[in-house]
Each structure stands twice: as structure tokens, then as C-alpha cells.
Structure 1
Amino acid sequence: MTLNLEKMSRDELLALRADVDKALKSVETRRKAEARAAVEKAAKEFGFSIDDIYAKGAPKEKNPPKYRHPENPEKTWTGRGRKPGWVTEWLAAGKDIEDLAI
């Protein structure tokens, strides 16, 4: 089937473009499904599910706290990043940060 685009009206061309876009989406959806099935099959051959393969890694461990507030043990600081206000106040009072060490 050959189309003579030169003889088609603007409305016919727009309809054709819409049909082509729809067909392309359909092909893409079908190909993605085929790819997913192939990935699932390959993962299964190795004893994994697709979720096992694409699962995010173990959550990163937070840096453990190195310093603890002397009166409120729930307030801690890892020693990284900006100093919390309570640490700044402690140091401004002339006290040693090692007194807060855990």
C-alpha cells in the first residue's frame, strides 16, 4: 500500500499522524512487555526474581553518632556536617568537645 501524501488533505494527514503515533505506542508497549518477560526468564534461570535483580541495595548505614548531649541523650551528632546548636553552645562556654564523646 502506497500513500500519496501530496494528495491528502490536512485533516487526512493529521488523522494519519495520530494513527501512526498510536501504532508506535502500541509497538513500544508490546516490545517492553517482551523485554520484561525476557529479563524475568533470565533472572529465573539464575534463581532470582526480577525484583531481586532490580531491588535497591541495602540501605546505607548512617554514620554512628560520636557525641551526645549531656542532659538530653536523644540529641546526638556524628561529628560531620554543621555543628548542632547545643555543640556550639558547649564549645562557646569554653568546654572541651571530648567531654561529649560517646
Structure 2
Amino acid sequence: MFGRHQMNDFDLSDLDLDELKKLHKETAAAIQNYETRRRQEALAAAEAAAKSAGYSLKDLVGMSAGKPTKSINPPKYRNPDDQDQTWSGRGRQPQWVKDALAANKSLDDLLIAR
């Protein structure tokens, strides 16, 4: 029942509060040590798998099927007065969009032809 180690048979009700607290503390520490060892073993296995494929684990962290982790939104609107200024239509409106809307233009007037 207890893996490689045999646990002595004893009745927990025979222990006083201090003994129970000590047992609890030692058990919690043993669980933490076990989880740490398992994480280290998993990390070593992942590093070995990455190395066998010709990569370091650091090279692979954050990658998702070879795709960039951040999606790039193409521009949807362009400033008719300055063709270098574009906006994807997401997030805060640039000042040139606010100025165009204030001048009675619509967002349709600023659309990039597709």
C-alpha cells in the first residue's frame, strides 16, 4: 500500500496534538519533495525529447505547432491624407480616425480597398 517503504501500523488516535502536527508537517514536506522530483523528471524528459529532435527546450517554449504565438491583425483602414497611417479596426482609434469622423467622414470612407 505504501510503495517501496513499509509503514508501521499505528493508530492515529494514539497520537497527541503535537505528534499529529509533526506528522502532518512531515507528510506535507514529503509530498512537496515528491512533486518537485516528478517535475524535474518531466522537465528532463522534455529536454531530452527536444534535443533528440535537434532543438533546445527553450527553442520550443511558447511555440504552438510552428505558428507565431501572437496573431497579427492586418490593417483595415488607411488615412487618406497619409497612406503610411493604417489601423486594424481593433483597439483604440488613432487620432487621424477620430479627426476624420469629426469631419463627417465614415469608417467606410477610410476602408482599404480589398
1:97 aligns with 2:109: yes
Q: CA deviation at 1:73?
A: 6.5
- Residue in structure 2 matched with residue 76 of structure 1 by the alignment: 86
* Cα displacement (A) at 1:89: 1.4
Report the counterpart of residue 78 of structure 2 in structure 1.
67
DSSP-derived class of the 1:2 partner? coil
- The residue that corresponds to 2:101 in the other structure is 88
CA contact (8 A) 1:67 1:79 kept: no
2:24 maps to 1:14? no
TM-score (norm 2): 0.65
Distance 2:27 2:43 in 1: 24
- Number of residue pairs aligned between Structure 1 and Structure 2: 98
Q: Please point out which of 29, 33, 39 is paired with 2:40.
A: 33
- Matches of 1:43 and 1:3 in 2, distance apart? 47
TM-score by length of 1: 0.72
Question: Could you tell me how far apart the structure 2 residues matched to 1:82 and 1:73 are?
Answer: 19
Cα distance, 1:77 vs. partner?
A: 2.6
Q: Is the 8 A contact 2:73 2:88 kept in 1?
A: no
Q: Which runs of 5+ in 2 are unaligned?
A: 1-7
The structure in which a higher percent of residues are helix is: 1
Among all aligned residue pairs of Structure 1 and Structure 2, give the percentage whose two residues are the same amino acid: 31
SS of residue in 2 equivalent to 1:67: strand
Structure-2 change in CA distance of 1:44 and 1:6 (3 Å) = same
Q: Secondary structure at the match of 2:72?
A: coil
Q: What RMSD, in angstroms, separates the aligned Cα atoms of the two structures?
A: 3.0
